[in-house]
Structure formats: C-alpha cells, structure tokens
Amino acid sequence: MGNTDLWTVAVIIGLACVTVIARSFFFMSNKPWGLPHWAQRGLQYAPIAALAAVIVPEIVMAQGALIETWRDARLFAAVAGAGYFFWCRGAGQAVLGTIVAGMVVYLPLHLGLGW
Amino acid sequence: MFLRPTHYRHPAFSAGMAQMWPQAPGIAAWGLMTGVAMVKSGMSVFESVLMTLLVFAGSSQLAAIPLLVAGAPAWVILATGFCVNLRFVVFSLHMRPYMMHLPLWERLMHGYLTADLTYVLFTRQYPKPGATADERLAQTAYLAGNCAVNWGSWISASLVGVVAANFIPTQWGLGFAGILCLIGILCSLASTRLRLVAVGVAGVAAVVAYALPLKLNIVAAIAVAVLLCLSLERFEPQRPAGASH
C-alpha cells in the first residue's frame, strides 16, 4: 500500500483536466470550425480504429512483444466474446454477453491451464 | 446535467438511462478492475479514490498507473493520457453541433461525462442534431440520463474495487473483462466492410508500431487506418449519407 504524495495528487488533477479537454476539444470554442469534408468522412472510421488499436495489442502481445504461442487464454476469450456478439447479432445485452462468454472461456484456460 | 429538473423529468432522460442499463454490468466490471489495478500497483487508497472521482477515464487511468508508480515526468503521464484519450477529441468533433446551443460550462460538463459508450449510444439514437428547442432539450436530457447511469456504475464499481483489492488476487486476470467490454463495443460499431478494414489495419499497425513512446502507436494506427479507408472509399458503391451506425 503506497503513501500519498502531493506530486501524485497534482498529476491526478492534471489527468482530470486532460479528460475534460480531450472530451470537449471541439466544442470549447464558440468560433465555428469549418470542417473539411475528408475529416467528416474520417469520423466513420476513427472510433472503431481507435478501439482496435487499443484492443489488439492487449490480446496478442505480452511484455511489449508479439506472443509466440497460440496457448494464450486471451486469444480464445476474444474469439469467444466476438463470436457471441455476432451469433446473437448484437441484440439485447450483447456487450454484457460478450464479456460473460469471453470470461467463461478465459478463466478456466488462465487459472486451470495457466495459459 | 442530471441535477436539473427540466432534464431529469424529461421522458428522454429515462430513455437515456434505459439504453445504458444493459451496458452497466460491463462498465462496472471494468471499473471494478481499474479500482483493483490502482491499489495493486502501489497507489495509496486516497490517490486511488481521488483518481476514480476526478479522472473518470478508464483507459487513460490504466495507462497512467505504471507511469505514476515508476515516477515518470508529469508531462509524459499527461501526454500519454491525452494520446490515449485522442479518440474523445474525434468524438467531440462529431458532438459539436449537438452541444453549441449550451453555455460553456455546461458543454464542458457534458464533454467531461461523455465516455465511449455514451457517445456511441447517443449518436446512434440521434443521427442528426436537434433542429428545434424541444428536440435539443430532449437530446440533452437523453445525454444526461445516459451519463448518469454510466457515471454511477463506473464510480461505484471502481470504489468497490479499491476496497476489494486486498481480497482479489491480481493473477486471476479479471482486468481482461475490460478488454472484452471494448471488444463488444467494437463489434457494435462494425457495421460496414470498410470499418472492418479499419479494425484490421489499426490492429496490425498498433502492434507493429508498439515500440513508439507515449502510446503513440495508437495514434499512428488510427491515422493509418483512417487514411487507408478514406482512399478505399471510392471503390465502395454509393450509400446515402447518414446510413452509418
């Protein structure tokens, strides 16, 4: 259990400001922003690309390197989760189902087999 | 926001809450794990609670924890947080026409509370910004209701996680539930072929560029995927505008 220090508290407050600035970035100013057409079209792809960029390294990498084995619980859990989502075609509580299906595969492999 | 009767008595407020409720367990699972991760990596309970209450951004919190513990320079931690949060900059561009009728502090408040799922659900519910005052009020009320459930489930689960950290072994790997939650969101956005291309390109690019500092691999991956999809668009059959989501 760590001790509280003022530097950490200051960084945390800074991170809160980062949250506000990032999430309000384009509507902080009253000036109209002329949005180029390509940027509007780019909005189609940017959010899903950002999610993939965060998720994929978390599934196929360990300690900063690509994993070299297929015996990794994360691979099977990710496939099971996404498989569940598309099997139920995203209806109802599909995201919750994705988590449950993924964890049902993940925990036995990870804790049972040590993958 | 959710403190104002004209918002929380509006029927759209309940609609916003109703659409967020099914997602709440997933958010809670991720919040719980973030709470556990903060304490388990050596932050004090006070720091963890403060971070939960103020930062309210799971991915930037999770990215900041190892840097904080390692004593990295403040600017590196803040820059990393901003890079991980760049997707919100993109979301804010999309949200601008929905927001500009509000005064500045309310826009900042809404922006602060609008995380990934709220953005996805809100823009799916309202593909076009409101044209009349009534429509705008309904949209603001929906956003407030949606944020209320999101904020409540995230904060309460994170605080439970901070408390429970001493009882849940880290090696269980329950933090992976957060990634599975993101996978579910990703699947719900995968509505066109080009978006699937974006997933593949961004995923590969993020791995290839992993060695870049400050998590810039994520920014590079987004840029490559978006530019490639924009140049591939001309080969797609024409669709009516606004057919996305």
Complex confidence, ipTM: 0.81
Which residue is associated with the tokens 């990794």? A72
Closest CA to B95 of B69, B124, B74: B124
Beta-carbon contacts of residue B36 (< 8 Å; ≥ 6 apart): B161, B162, B164, B165, B168, B170, B174, B175
Report how far apart, in Å, the C-alpha atoms of A33 and of each of B127, B139, B201 are: 20, 22, 29
Which of A52, A98, A106 is the closest to B199 by Cβ?
A52
- CB–CB contact B181 A99 (8 Å): yes
| Residue B243 scores a pLDDT above 60 | no
Instruction: At A75, list the tokens.
Output: 């691979």
pLDDT of residue A34: 60
pTM above 0.80, yes or no: no
B-facing residues of A in 34-93 (CB < 8 A) are: 35, 38-39, 41-61, 64, 66, 73-74, 77-78, 81-82, 85-86, 90, 92-93
Cα separation of B162 and B31, whole Å?
Answer: 10
Instruction: At B102, list the tokens.
Output: 């509000």
Q: For residue range B144-153, list pLDDT tens digits in order.
A: 999 999 999 9
Q: Which chain B residues are closer than 8 Å to A1 by Cβ?
A: 39, 42, 44-45
Which of A3, A41, A86 is the closest to B187 by Cβ?
A86
The residues spanned by each domain of chain A are: 6-33+43-112
The residues spanned by each domain of chain B are: 5-172, 190-245
Substitution target from B30, B181, B186, B191 for chain A, most A beta carbons within 10 A? B186
Which of A38, A54, A74 is the closest to B59 by Cβ?
A54
Q: For residue range A59-101, list pLDDT tens digits in order.
A: 999 888 899 889 999 999 999 999 999 999 877 778 778 888 9
Contact A56, B206 (CB under 8 A): yes
